[in-house]
Chains A and B, each alone.
Chain A
Amino acid sequence: MRSPRSQPRLADRVLVAVALVLAVFGIFMIYSAGAVELPSQATGAWRRQALWLALSLIAFAIAVRVPLRWLEWAAPALYGGSLLLLVAVLVVGSGVGGRSWIRLGSMSIQPAEFAKLGTVLMLARLGAGRRPPPEHLWDLWPYAAAVLVPTLLVMAQPDLGTATIFAVIFLAAAFWSGLPIHRVVLVVSPLVSLALAFSTPLWAVFFVFVVAFVIGARPLLSEAVLTLAANVTMGVVMLPLWHSLAPYQQARILAFLQPEVDPQGAGWHLIQSRVAIGSGGWFGKGFGEGTQKRLAFIPEQHTDFIFSVVGEELGFLGAALVLSAFAILLWRVLRQAERADDRFASVLAFGIFAMWFAHVAQNVGMTVGLTPITGIPLPFLSYGGSFLIVSFLAIAILERIALEERSGA
């Protein structure tokens, strides 16, 4: 194997180009989001984001030089380090409605974002090695354990949205590691039960289907018992769990279910976001001209709701271009996961794919009212240093995978 360090040329130019274009475009949108009549945190945020982008590129330049084998070797340490940060944030963290940030001088980082990548690395390492692919649900226990720890730590902040991302990463690893497809269905079923727990009749219907599927799929008896128990627990335990949620979390979920019930309260964000996007029309109100944005009707418009600003100012065309860019990005990552000969690299790429996919689907979905409102940023566009750095580290890893595949081929 030749040293990749002597080959500074990019192996996947499309991937890096799309990421860079999105990040620079993001700085422009953050600038626009800060041009408001009501001074807020968004004012001047674009400068800080530009600084974060510079840091991200430095991180990229360093990380792209790290061989995959080193990464595989260091994965448990990186994972453990990110868990330590998650514990630290519970002790010294700050934030609104919870502890999610660690202040470092004038900047602050969000350990949960780093933990996402750390967990993906850990799962990739578990999926590598010489073990055969998991065949039974019980073979997934190392994956489950590796995901459960950061999930519980994140829920303690509390940050429900990020916890769901960890769940997605777990499912992705199980799916990509080669678990038989009917068992993937068994793994997914408790999550569907969780979603349907709000309506007992709906859940009951679903449960009948699960029972039928379990009988048809003929898993081990213990797997069948585990699956049904998990479904019952999710379906029944949901209501007490609901009452244990913080009021703002309850409000957000309720607002998602029925935004018009309380237009001044929890539904406000969603309605204003929809009005912003809908009023954009074909071509938008023009860069910097969004009235919903300028008059601060859009909530969190430089972070979670940056896509609403895109929709309002650049219209359907602008929004479609951004979504297309994400589609290209996800396509390229998926392609690498599929083509990688190395199992560690493949699971790693697929984990990154799943993370970004979940972020884009959830974030854009919430701005138009398809998904509940959570604090999940839009990759590369939303203001926020931690996830930008994490994303560029991910790009660096993917670039490294492409590089090693090419040189190894």
Chain B
Amino acid sequence: MVEFTNALRETRRQRARAMKALVAGLLLLLLTTLFRMQVLKHSSYALQSDENRLRAVPIPAPRGAIYDRAGRVVAENIPGYSVSILPASLDSLRAALRALAPTLGLTESGMQSVIEKYRHYPGRPVTVEGDASFAEVSAIEERRADLPGGIIVEATPKRRYPAGPDAAHVLGYVGEITEQELARSEFAGYEPGQLIGKMGLERQYERWLAGRPGVRYVEVNAVGRIVGEFRGRRMRPPIPGRDLHLNLDLELQRYVASVFPDTARGAVVVLVPSTGEVLALYSAPSFDPNAFVGGIDPALWRSLNTDPARSLFNRAIAGVYAPGSMFKLALAAIALAEGDATPETRMPIPCRGALLYYGRVFRCWRPEGHGVLGLLDAIKHSCDIYFYQLGLRLGLDRLVRGAREMGFTEATGIDLPFEASGTFPLGREWYDRRYGPRGWTNSVVLNLAIGQGENAQTPIKLAQFFSGIATDGSLPRPRLARSLPAEWDRDRIPGGSEGRSSLREAMVRVVNDPGGTARGSKLQGWVMAGKTGTSQNPHGDDHALFVGFAPAENPEVLAVAIIEFGQSGSRTAAPIVARILQRYLDGQHPDARPPAAPATRVAAGENL
């Protein structure tokens, strides 16, 4: 055995002391580090640990139902199922999609779009099928053990529109929020995958109808597989959306859809002229909003978007048409108000079918001419020669000012998204800008005078304008939601009550006098006032327009109908309006209907 020298023994004692200090130092270092992590920064690590293992799964909130003015359901929720995937990784998402493809009938492009969504929002469940059938759901649940993890099947309220295409444009539809929409402040607080109103009332009243989705938590393991429901943290229950009550009359709306010619394009607006309550709003061709529930089939979506008839387009509020002869009422209102004409005033040149103005021939729609007419009869016959001269008498400046006063450059403010404003020349500078200072002549007045030219109005705008004529000269704001307070733009139609009653008288003659342009469309038991219009358009046949309101002396209902390429307002649009008004008034006054007067149907051979 080799013993130590004393010197070496002393060295070892010193060095052992140093090593003991080292052990103590290590212990202290590790303990302080642990204390800092486990005690001082515990809450931050505890949060990270929760975030690691818990994934939020949104619980959709049931949307509010929508009811018509009689309490009939126009949009509701029915029980449905959705299938979504909370994948651990892109690979496991692909595996899950492949496994689900046969059951759900997923296409390659459909799977690709799900993968895109996951790429944008990893860590959230992605919806694969928003409207799964009970059979599909049972098939998935049966095979659950063989399927990859992360597949979530949930009972989800599903939107249903009982009226289908009949009320599609006014109700709109719902769909999954897009990335662009998420970025907008309008959708602040919304989350990926949420359903939102994309169009119509569903969009307009999105915040009211939507409610707030709830959230639950699932626990996932390190590779992201769902291990189970997490009960430790209180889930947040969804807050259901609020119901919406409409001024719309669903029965009338359906009637409008049924009387509108099957293959035609166009629009119908029916409202209460005194209040602006919208009773029906129809655009043709229509689509079935139920097809959008749970995600629209991409092929159908493509065909809707490339459809030359543009069936998703709401013509009633966004289609613009030259008002044609309907605009003659606006001209007459200005003339009466400014003293340029009385109801009996005649123009210097009688109608011989055409008018020569600076070397150009301007024709009346009736080649034989109308002869000598007063203002009211000129409206009744819709004589173009009379209004050319009236327009020249007023001049461009007064005409433009009057039209602006009556609101032809504004939107109506109806509670629907994407309403188009009317277009009307804003004055000489407007023409200068458009055609160059010498690119136009005073003859534009002649075109404007008969409602053609640079004048484009929506059906809802025309309905609002004629509501002013039918009542006290105020323009009511068209309203679909019952809770929206009535609002009027006061005194926008000039000419006073006398002037307006003259105009109404003229419109009564249009329908009820033997020579009126719409004499074929009288109501039974009610007096309708109306005006035909023909909108020239560069794409083909003229569009047919008609506005009517009844009873003429105290209007309860007003309707505007536009039929694209319908050629003649009196022949195609007027009978539709007449049937709608007849139906509505008969429904409102089941006992008051006087005995039917013998109908004297005259073949409507005239245009305008």
> Which residues of A are in contact with B by a Cβ distance under 8 Å?
36-38, 128-130, 133, 175-176, 178, 272, 274-282, 291-292, 295-297, 311, 315-316, 319-320, 323-324, 327, 330-331, 334-335, 337-338, 341-344, 346, 353, 357, 360-361, 364-365, 368, 370, 408
User: Are A279 and B48 in contact, CB atoms less than 8 angstroms apart?
Assistant: yes
What would 17 more interface pairs be, CB under 8 Å, given A295-B222, A341-B1? A38-B222, A38-B223, A175-B15, A274-B45, A275-B49, A278-B42, A279-B45, A279-B48, A281-B46, A296-B221, A320-B31, A323-B34, A343-B3, A344-B2, A346-B12, A357-B26, A364-B30
Q: Which residues of B contact A360 (CB under 8 A)?
A: 26
Chain B residue nearest to A68 in the complex (CB): B1
Chain A residue numbers with a CB within 8 Å of B225 are 37-38
Residues A279 and B23 in contact, CB atoms below 8 Å apart: no
A-B contact pairs, 14 of them (CB 8 A): A275-B45, A282-B38, A295-B53, A295-B219, A297-B221, A311-B34, A315-B38, A320-B34, A323-B34, A342-B1, A357-B22, A360-B26, A361-B26, A368-B37
Report whether B31 and A275 are in contact in the complex, using a CB–CB cutoff of 8 Å.
no
Contact B219 A178 (CB under 8 A): no
Instruction: Enumerate chain B residues within 8 angstroms of A341, measured Cβ to Cβ.
Output: 1, 3-4
A345's nearest neighbour on chain B, judged by CB, is B1
Interface residues of B in 224-280 (CB under 8 A from A): 225, 227
Known pairs A334-B23, A360-B26; A278 contacts B31 (CB<8 A): no
Contact of B19 among A297, A344, A353 (CB under 8 A): A353
Measured in the bound complex, the distance between the Cα atoms of B19 and A334 in whole Å is 8
A-side contacts of B372, CB under 8 Å:
none
List of A residues within 8 angstroms of B16 by Cβ: 334-335, 337-338
- Indicate if B138 sits at the interface (CB-CB under 8 A): no
Contact of B37 among A277, A296, A346 (CB under 8 A): A277
Please name all residues of chain A whose beta carbon is closer than 8 Å to the beta carbon of B19 when the two chains form the complex.
334, 353
Contact B33 A368, beta carbon cutoff 8 Å: yes
Chain B residues near A277 (CB, 8 Å)?
Answer: 34, 37-38, 45
Closest to A40 in B: B222
CB distance from A325 to the nearest CB of B (A): 11
Interface residues of B in 408-446 (CB under 8 A from A): none
Cβ contacts B564-604/A at 8 Å (1 or 0 each): 00000000000000000000000000000000000000000
Within 8 A of A (CB), among B196-242: 219-223, 225, 227
Known: A37-B227, A343-B4. A316 touches B46 (CB 8 A): no
**Which residues of B lie under 8 Å from residue A178 when comparing CB positions?**
8, 11-12
Are A327 and B52 CB-contacts (below 8 A) given A278-B37, A278-B42, A342-B2? no
**What A residues does B37 contact at CB under 8 A?**
274, 277-278, 368
Distance in angstroms between the alpha carbons of A370 and B19 in the assembled complex = 20
**Cβ contact of B42, chosen from A276, A279, A343, cutoff 8 A:** A279
Q: B92: shortest Cβ distance to chain A, in Å?
A: 13
Chain A residues, CB < 8 A from B490? none
The answer to whether A295 touches B30, judged by C-beta atoms less than 8 angstroms apart, is no
Interface of B is mostly: helix
**The residue from A323, A353, A370 contacting B27, defined by CB atoms under 8 A apart:** A323
Chain B residues, Cβ within 8 Å of A129 = 2
In the bound assembly, the distance between CA atoms of A281 and B53 in angstroms comes to 18
Report the nearest A residue to B27, measured CB to CB: A327
Q: Does any Cβ of A come within 8 Å of B300's Cβ? A: no
The reply to whether the CB of B29 lies closer than 8 angstroms to some CB of chain A is: yes
Bound form: Cα–Cα A296–B1 in Å: 53
Q: How far is the CA of A128 from the CA of B3 in the complex (A)?
A: 9
Which of B27, B30, B38 is most buried by chain A, counting CB atoms within 10 A of its CB? B38
Check B2–A343 contact: CB distance below 8 A: yes
The complex places the Cα of A38 from the Cα of B52 at a distance, in Å, of: 15
Question: B38 to chain A: which residues have CB within 8 Å?
Answer: 277-278, 280-282, 311, 315-316, 319
CB neighbours of B12 from chain A (8 A)? 176, 178, 337-338, 346
The CA of A291 and the CA of B230, in the complex, are separated in Å by 12
Bound complex: CA A151 to CA B221 (Å):
39
Q: Say whether B23 contacts A331, CB under 8 Å.
A: yes
- B153 nearest CB across to chain A (Å): 21
A199 to B22, CA, bound (A): 27
B26 to chain A, nearest CB (A): 5
Any A CB within 8 A of the CB of B20: yes
A-chain residues with CB within 8 Å of residue B34 when the two chains form the complex: 277, 311, 316, 319-320, 323, 368
Q: Is B537 an interface residue (CB 8 A)?
A: no
- On chain A, the residues within 8 Å of B8 by CB distance are 133, 178
Complex CA–CA separation, A341 to B16 (angstroms): 14
Residues of B within 8 A of A337 (CB): 12, 16
